[in-house]
Structure 1
Amino acid sequence: MAGRLHPWSRYVAIGDSFTEGIGDPEPGVPGGHRGWADRVAEVLDGATSDFAYANLAVRGKLMQQILDDQVEPALELRPDLITISAGGNDVIRPGTDPDDIAARFERAIERLRSDGATVVLFTGVDVGFSPVFRSIRGKVAIYNENLRAIASRHDCIVADQWSLQAIQDPRMWAPDRLHLNALGHHEVARMVLAALNVENDLKPLQPEPLPSVRWREARSEDLVWAREYLVPWVLRRIRHQSSGDHITAKRPTAGPLRLDVEAALDADDVK
């Protein structure tokens, strides 16, 4: 591709499971999950010959853990583009204060912007469509308003998940109802690229109307979900455990993306 279609050559993504790509399994890539950040990096990589990408996100991490473990390592990689999504795991916990979470988030943004990198931050999803999380919709909205103000004060780009109606669809979510699936991650990647004003060939998804589900079938699905996902999540909270315990970043250093893509293709050829 002739010419540079964007100004960035070194992209670092930090955050939790959302940025790690959980829900979008791809055994051939580092960490075994692809996700929206990988998809964005793939597009950015195609527009320049010297692009490098690192992803420091780890599932289950709270705001303070992301600040303590990822911000400085990210800056050490000298990125000119940083995406950060943090606070979601804090917001969904009972008794947490979205204003306090946002205040700590702003300290991270101040640090990340200190070297002049472009910083993209994410609003939370409008969870009104979800019976499980509908009760915290107002809390998410308060957090989002704080994030918009932070972005304005520090000249950041906002990737607005709240207004992304495409992912307000159960078919965009993994069976655990906490993480986006491949379709959802694809839509988020398209949103991020639009926020960055980067032209791309990713096509919008046009899901058909949801099939009707009978009441008995829906309740049966709810029981299975509660047993397989909700109960283990609650138990981890009680035990002060995280799904990210003993998990390391899937791309801890910034390097060429093409090598990973080629390795994944070679692995598919072997199969």
Structure 2
Amino acid sequence: MPASPPADADRIDALLGPDSGWRVRCVSSTGSTNADLAAAARAGEPAGAVLVADHQGAGRGRFDRSWASPPGVSVSTSVLLRPQRPPLDWGWLSLLVGLAVADGIRRLGGGDRVTLKWPNDVLIDGRKICGILSERVTTDQGDAAVCGWGINVSMTPAELPVPGATSLLMAGLPTDKSQLLAGILGPLGWLASRWDAGDDLRADYAAGCATIGRRVRVHLDSQVAGGRSVDGDAVAVGPNGELLVDVDGRLEAFAAGDVVHLR
């Protein structure tokens, strides 16, 4: 299967409309869209910048894991935000991106097949199609946030980055990158504005999250917690975006970690 055509900034802008608040730029290849926007933030770039790459040569996931794919079969996007809410609340940013990505894929025809896995994965038919990485950036204009995500678009089974992944193509959905991104950026702008104004979005997130109500295993970062794993029942998302897990009758809050959905 040939690579799907790259995203087009003019078409995304047209689909979003004139009042979206986003400034979209598309490139064929870069090292990391997050790193590029972090540098732009330090140079004074205002909120609303969007960088889209058809290929990343040095993409990263959480805990500095590398993320790579063949050229043209995925799309990587980062947005620059300058939230007014205190940094303690910024754990919500990846969750907001997840909500928006899930909405965009549903708009392509994914429907109820699309769910969220706390904290940073979007699933279709229970298989990962998108990963998310949000980072705080210190600038002379105050702290900024760069939120990035990568979506498997036209990957074949042989090209998947990890077992248990999928792509839009494999899921039988359209692979139009411009349409996909417009369908994500629209909801993301609205969600980010609501969140920054103080709205409580926990019910919105829980409604589409396959983790809530499931038996889970939380693997904690080995550098922070010695690689500890915790089993329990995921019951809710907390006010700062943390996962609340009932562990043998005791409620524990996890701000980060890899989650496995247990049967």
TM-score of the superposed pair, with normalisation by structure 1: 0.27
Larger Rg: 1
Larger strand share, 1 or 2: 2
TM-score of the superposed pair, with normalisation by structure 2: 0.27
Larger helix share, 1 or 2: 1
